[in-house]
Amino acid sequence: MRIDGSRKYLLIGAAFVSFIATEATAQPPAQTADQAFEALSTTEYAWRQKQFGPSEDGPKDQPLTLPDVGPAAQSARLARWEQVAKQLGATNVDRLSPAQRINFAVYKGQ
């Protein structure tokens, strides 16, 4: 079957547009179990550092402050930690690398 010039360019154009549309809507690759756990623990730790501020083990140029221990702050912390506990509970430990299994066991106990 022979395709004339205008149809050929039309087919090539349609294929190109289809390819671009597919690439634009393609989902990013799924995270590995290690990446998901690392993202969870890193995000939670950064949040925790902001909650409690500098410590005696931190840089000496930061003034020590006491954290907010009011009812609203305590309630917000509890909600955050319950969310993290739920995410940890959904983690398939068997899919973690051996090193991350150790990190998971230590982290979950905190």
Q: Dump pLDDT digits (tens) for 86-106.
A: 999 999 999 999 999 999 999
For residue range 21-60, list pLDDT tens digits in order: 555 455 555 689 999 999 999 999 889 888 887 777 777 7
Rounded Cα distance between 66 and 54, Å, is 9
Q: Are 48 and 1 in contact, with CB atoms under 8 Å apart? A: no
pTM more than 0.95: no
Sequence-distant (6+) residues with CB within 8 A of 77 are: 51
